[in-house]
Amino acid sequence: MKSGSNLEKVIASGNPAVTAELGPPMSADAHEVIKKANQLKGFCDAANITDCQTAVVRISSIAAAYIALKEGLEPVMQMTCRDRNRIAMQADFLGAAALGLKNCLCIAGDHQSFSAAGRLKGHPGAKNVYDVDTCQLVGIMKKMRDEGLQQGGDKLEVAPKFFIGASWTPMGDPIDFRPYNLKKKVDAGADFIQTQGIYDMELFKVQMEKARNLGLHERTAMLAGIIVPKSAMMLKYMDSSVAGVTVPKELINRMLKAKDAAGDDKKKAKELQEQEGMKITVELVKQALDIPGVKGVHIQAIEWESAIEHIVKAAGLYPRPVFSE
């Protein structure tokens, strides 16, 4: 075992892995994290704790991950390259490991200009860091874990033992380069990969085949990302505006049909769309797990953590495997 994390154990056991996502709140409210952690606990093998997603200030990933851990939910802390230089990153790895965290997802992070969206003022004038990028961050973590060395070369008496993750946008462009982009992350040392949300399973199959041809599925655990759709509007938005995401017309139409079935009753329209969204998610989860080389799913129910229980059960992925310490 590289880290001994629950996620690593599930993957090593050959069971399909399930990860979920927990978004920390925009205030110092630990109860929000505790509530969400308890909604997810038992229904996933580990939950990603986002690191100021969309560049919005929230409880830090490490702090929220520690709260989740105390609640009995295994966290996957996230670290963006946007906010820290290599000194802060490594200091945080040491601290996180000392607190008992065992998984980390390395990501570039949304640009700070994203933070001023909708009604939020955000911090679009912030200075970003990008001292290192995702591949380099993965490499730094691996060097710390496997060689007991800091990036600069200084020795670590006690090395932080993380199960190292990276993200992949399989359908982003330039699409023919994406498999190589994945290979670089695997070469750098990514133990597991969580993909961008996938709705177009056929296209994902094509990209997975290319990844398999490079032998990547044997060197890393591929977890297919599924973002639970809440409404037809959300699917349309994701299709038109989110990089690397395309949503087949058929799925949008199914959600529109669910919405229309409620007539003028807005509350019912919300309910019916949410039900259809969960149904679509369950289908996508099953389809993804049928693709050769896919070792699990990363189900993101954004600000809707309570949906995970139903989805995981309906997909036949409950109960989750349990391992002794």
Partner 1 sequence: MIVGEQKKIEEIWEMIQGFKKILVFGCNTCIAVCHAGGGKEAEILASLLRMKAKQEGLDLEIKDLAVQRHCEPEYFEPVMEDVRKYDLVLSLACGVGVNFLSERIGNIPVYPGINTEFFGGVPQPGFFVELCAGCGDCVLHLTGGICPVVRCSKSLMNGPCGGTNKGKCEISPDVDCAWFLIVERMKQLGTLEKLFQVQPPRNWAGGTHGGPRRVVVEHVRTLEEQESK
Chain residues binding partner 1 by CB under 8 A are 81-82, 86, 108-111, 113-114, 128, 130-136, 139-140, 151, 167-169, 172-174, 177, 180-181, 183-184, 187-188, 196, 243-244
Closest to partner 1 by CB, 128 vs 287, is 128
In the bound complex, what is the minimum distance in angstroms from residue 7's beta carbon to partner 1? 21
Closest to partner 1 by CB, 25 vs 172, is 172
Confirm if 165 and 191 have CB atoms less than 8 A apart: yes
Q: Which 8-state DSSP code applies to residue 38?
A: H
In the bound complex, what is the minimum distance in angstroms from residue 188's beta carbon to partner 1? 5
Please tell me the distance from the alpha carbon of residue 50 to that of residue 23, in angstroms, as a whole number.
6
In the bound complex, what is the minimum distance in angstroms from residue 300's beta carbon to partner 1? 14
Dihedrals phi, psi of 86, to nearest 5 degrees: -65, -25
Please tell me the distance from the alpha carbon of residue 127 to that of residue 130, in angstroms, as a whole number.
10
Closest to partner 1 by CB, 183 vs 320, is 183
Closest to partner 1 by CB, 147 vs 265, is 147
Element at 255 (helix H, strand E): helix 249-260
In the bound complex, what is the minimum distance in angstroms from residue 54's beta carbon to partner 1? 11
Q: Which single residue is written with the structure tokens 């993957």?
A: 11
The candidate with the shortest Cα–Cα distance to 51, out of 29, 80, 91, 30, is: 80
Residue type, 108: A
Structure tokens at 151: 């990036």
Closest to partner 1 by CB, 77 vs 106, is 106
